[in-house]
Structure 1
Amino acid sequence: MASDIPQGVSISLRGPDHAAVEAAANELKERFGKRFAVCRRSVAPVSSGGGLTIRATLLVSAEDHLDAAVAASLDLFYSGSRTGLQEA
C-alpha cells in the first residue's frame, strides 16, 4: 500500500464534562478540518457517571507525519532552542 494514501485512525474522546469533550472535538476539527470527522456520540448512564464519549476518525498519511515533524523542527529553530527545552 502506498504511504501517501490516507488511512483512517480511530479516536475516542471521553470525559464526565460534556462541554469539555465537545470542546476537544471542536479543537480537533479546527486543527484538521475535513480530515477529522465525528462518527458517534454516546452518553453513559447516570449510574456510571453520565460521561460523554465521542468516537471520531482522523485521516492521516505518512506525508502528514513528515509535514508535522518539519513544522515542529521549524518551530524549534525559530524559538532559538536546539533541544526544544526552555532555558531559564
Structure 2
Amino acid sequence: DRAAIFLAQCAVLLRDEGLAGDAGLIAERGPVTWSYLWRRGVSAGDVVRAVKLLRSGAGGRRAGDLEAKGLVKRVRGSYASTSLLRAILYHVVLVASRL
C-alpha cells in the first residue's frame, strides 16, 4: 500500500544520507493519518530535508514549504520537529530496522 511504499522510500533515503541515527533520535510514537500526507504532498524527500534542517539548525527561506506541509515549526528563530514528523519517523525507523 501507499504508506508502506512511502515509509520504505523514507528509510532508504535517510540511510543513504547517513541520517538514520538522527531520525531515530527525533522519532516518537504517535498516530499518522496517511491520507493527510498525500493531500499535503509530503514526499520522502521532504522528510529527509526536515531531518537535515533539524540537524543543522539552519533552514532559511527554503524551510517554508516544510512548515506548510506540517513537518517543522518555527521556534524562537530556529526550527523544531512537529508531532507529525516525529510520528512519521517512528514508523520509518521500524521499517529501516528491517532493511
TM over 0.5: no
Larger radius of gyration: 1
More strand by share: 1
More helix by share: 2
Q: TM-score, normalised by structure 2?
A: 0.26
Q: TM-score, normalised by structure 1?
A: 0.28
